[in-house]
Homo-oligomer: A and B are copies of this chain.
Amino acid sequence: MLQADGENKRIKKQMPIFSSVGGIAKLLVALSLLLSVHSCTEQQLETTSMRPAPKMILIIGDGMDDQQITIARIYLSGNNGRLKLDELPYRGVVQVQAVDEANPGQAVYVTDSASTATAIATGRITSSRRIATSAGTDERLLSIMEIAQSAGLGTGIVTTASLTDATPAAFATHINNRFCQGPADMVSTIGATRTPVNCSQYIQANGGGGSISEQIAALEIDILLGGGTQYFDQISEANSAMSVMDAAVANGYKVIRKREELALIEADTKVLGLFSPSTMPVRLRGVGGAQAEKIERINGQVRLPAAYSCEPNPQFAGMPTLAEMTRAALSQFDDVRGFMLMVESASIDKQSHRRRPCGSIGELAQLNEALEVALEYAVSHPETLILVTADHAQAAQLVSEKVSLLAPNHASPGFFARLLTPEGSVMGINYATTDWPRQEGHTGAQVPLYAFGPNVNQLPSFIRQAEIFGIMERHLGLGSH
């Protein structure tokens, strides 16, 4: 075992014998140990080729703020329970950062997954909707994944969203607007207001790298797992005889579409796994599809909605879990070479936008299971750093499930769910950032950072979002790009 050999050669910097030594015999042993260790300097050991290189697993819970974590903990483990996340030795907070597109010197306090993923992936602050490009000036911003790849490290992206969605996209592609996911989307409109989207300078015929899916098809990332077939089934803009998927195959990607195929992937072949047309279906839903709703007021009296439980989402059947995808990605990397793996649990955010607390809870369960897989790996590969963070906070709030004694005729002005917990109490969950029926907005609160691995006790308790890039870069030894 190469990894075990490397481990044995490490110098134990703080030898416990010194803090508990009780007599001269032990001191003499310590003396001889120190002398023998110093016959081989630390520098020499560091460069031993058999020592496993640093490995980085970044887990992003999209929209995973303290409200979401608390709601999930209570539902999944009870009020006195704990999540896998809660067992990590380090937990700090991260200030989200973004700037205005028209005036990049001006701070914007509430932003989206595109700019926040760009901050994490590249260490640079940008404006909403931008994917690893700079606000205003459209500079291409190099990501930690690209730097790792250039340095010969293994690379992987795993997500429950479409692989073309903002978070995964910012780790491997560059474009001015997150909505340019496929070649058909480069000049288009979104929403009922038909807000224009224009990525024309990125069209391949204009000398650009193409849409996000086209850029992904051209990558050399070792493993890519998620949803998004609808963006890869589009006809390639560069060659009207082939789809983007064909282009990925031509570029050497083995494409898989079924959970069972995850077990068959081989480490010497690049893998593109696409398991659903867009976002992968979530694990849980409200019983019968129940979700938060507007509270009825009849003759001035508040009628709270009935409490409901979560149930398995039938559409999730046949989907690989985030833990299974994470395990498959880790299997692509050998023990010696370093790697950069990003794992996103995307639907904490997406289900909160849609006011579906069970969807967010099931997704947080998936994140915790994926973390468990990552922790198992890190325990047997102690050169692995695991970071878990969120890109931004979300709308949902855990609130009283009852109408106040002091104000029985008043309740949430927004959308409200009463969720029956397995321990027999009821959680009130409030979504009230907007009265837009279609979806809630984000919030701008600081987000969590959890860590496990070498030197995590030296991380400060507070950092800014772009500094996560630096932590990963230093851990992987990539500081000289």
Chain A residues near B (Cβ < 8 Å): 13-15, 18-19, 21-22, 24, 27, 31, 34-35, 38, 65-67, 69-70, 73-74, 78-80, 82, 85-93, 95, 97, 100, 106-110, 190-193, 195, 393, 395, 397-401, 404-408, 410-414, 421, 423-425, 427-428, 430, 432-436, 438, 441-448, 450, 457, 460-462, 464
Contacts and interface: CB of A to CB of B under 8 A. Distances in A.
Nearest to A98: B79
Contact of A438 (B70, B91, B407, B445): B407
A460 to B, nearest CB: 8
Given A18-B18, A397-B397, A404 B446 contact: no
A13 B19 contact: yes
B438 A412 contact: no
Contact of A406 (B21, B106, B193, B414): B193
A69 B411 contact: no
A378 to B, nearest CB: 16
Contacts of A408: 193
| Dominant secondary structure at the A interface | loop
Contact of A434 (B15, B38, B108, B404): B404
Q: Which 5 A-B pairs have the closest CB atoms?
A: A91-B461, A432-B432, A410-B436, A86-B462, A398-B444
A446 B70 contact: yes
12 contacts: A14-B14, A27-B35, A70-B95, A70-B444, A88-B461, A110-B399, A190-B406, A397-B445, A404-B436, A407-B434, A413-B432, A430-B433
Query: In the complex this chain forms, how many copies of it are found?
Result: 2
B405 A110 contact: no
Contacts of A412: 432-435
A459 to B, nearest CB: 10
A248 to B, nearest CB: 31
A109 B398 contact: yes
A93 B109 contact: no
A224 to B, nearest CB: 29
Given A86-B461, A435-B412, A423 B107 contact: yes
A176 B19 CA distance: 50
Given A108-B425, A404-B436, 20 more contacts: A21-B34, A27-B35, A67-B393, A70-B445, A78-B107, A80-B95, A80-B97, A85-B462, A86-B461, A90-B461, A91-B91, A191-B405, A192-B406, A193-B407, A410-B435, A412-B435, A413-B413, A414-B414, A430-B433, A432-B433
Contacts of A446: 66, 69-70, 73
